[in-house]
Amino acid sequence: MKNYKIAVVPGDGIGHEIVPAGLKVLQAAAEKHQFTLETQEFPFGAGYYKQHGQFMPNDGLDTLKQFDAVYFGAVGDPEVDDTLPAMLYTFRVRTAFQQYVNYRPVKLLPGIDSPLRYKSHKDIDFVVIRENNEGEFVQNGKIIHPDQPYGLATDTSVFTRAGIERIAHYSFKLAQKRRKKVTNVTKSNTLINSLAYWDRVIEEVSVQYPDVTYHKMYVDNASASFVLKPEVFDVIVTTNMIGDILSDLGGAIMGSLGLGPSGNINPEKEFPSMFEPIHGSAPDIAGQGIANPVGSIWSGALMLGHLGETEAAQDILKGIEATTQNGIVTVDLGGNAETTEIADSVIENL
């Protein structure tokens, strides 16, 4: 019987509700499909920062590195500077473990109406592949003389050929397993150096995949198309910041950010990958038992798929779909089910 070692990091806020809900589902799927999940929880996050002055201990990365995957909730606290969580936890893990793929599916679930009143489930089913280690979020810059009339601030994006090529290859290979279409979402008509280079390298890679249709689309057009014609998308490949924004828009057209899953993936499996819902720690509803755990549960399914437990991953998604089809949803979707009820329903459907 296969055993997988999973580091569990609930983080902050509703992370302490949605992650346990997701773990219940994961353990049920493991039992059904005859493998085991050996979990160990870590208190890393903003709460840890308030006690210790850092988001994880000095050997935190070495500790996480020993696991097959990291199952993460959300990080952030109103009492902690909101520039710190990404810098001191999320980006740190993504960079150290070369999780250069951010995988975010956008799929309208059965029983849920999209805010796009003319669109149905056949129209909303695509994946945003966001480059996760480079681009606009490398935090390469500084603020100089901030209080002076001549104060200035800079942030410099970083795009490398190696970084662009590897995210492009991942995207085209994924498209080969789906509907064989890749859309590069860019803004090279104004970022005429960095994103022109991004476009050039992706187009070079596209030639190696003649069975995949390749398109380039500017982000302003893509944003409008998410709303007006989401059916044109299959696999979207885009930069760190553009992908961050578009995938939240994707969650919105699904009906709620609480539904969206994601994987921070190291495809070569040289390091553990980290799986988390796309939303934040939502401190305003923490502790009330009403947080939507679907994004967390679905992220767990992505984790199992990455580990090779494809049937278990598919079963969890089917369980989620049956739950939403039956109208068992949380308050963000107009329902009254509690966090634990959603998990119990998915398990029953398994």
Tell me the per-residue pLDDT of 7-46, one tens digit each, with 9 for 90 and over.
Answer: 999 999 999 999 999 999 999 999 999 999 999 999 999 9
H-helix segments, 139-239: 161-177, 194-206, 219-228
Reply yes or no on whether the pLDDT at 139 is more than 90.
no
pLDDT in tens, 61-99: 999 999 999 999 999 999 999 888 888 899 999 999 999
Q: Which helix (H) or strand (E) holds 78?
A: none
Angle between helices 310-325 and 339-349 (to 10 degrees): 120
Distance from C-alpha of 299 to C-alpha of 268, rounded to nearest angstrom: 19
What's the whole-number mean pLDDT along residues 265-280?
Answer: 96
Token pair recorded at residue 60: 């935190």
Reply yes or no on whether the pLDDT at 318 is more than 90.
yes
Domains of the chain: 1-106+257-350 (3.40.718.10), 114-254 (3.40.718.10)
pLDDT in tens, 240-269: 999 999 999 999 999 999 999 999 999 999
Token pair recorded at residue 72: 């993460």
SS3 assignment, position 142: strand
Q: What is the DSSP letter of 86?
A: I
Q: How do beta strands 101-107 and 125-131 pair?
A: antiparallel
Q: What is the DSSP letter of 76?
A: -
Q: Is the dihedral of CA 321, 309, 266, 175 positive or negative?
A: negative
Distance from C-alpha of 327 to C-alpha of 316, rounded to nearest angstrom: 17
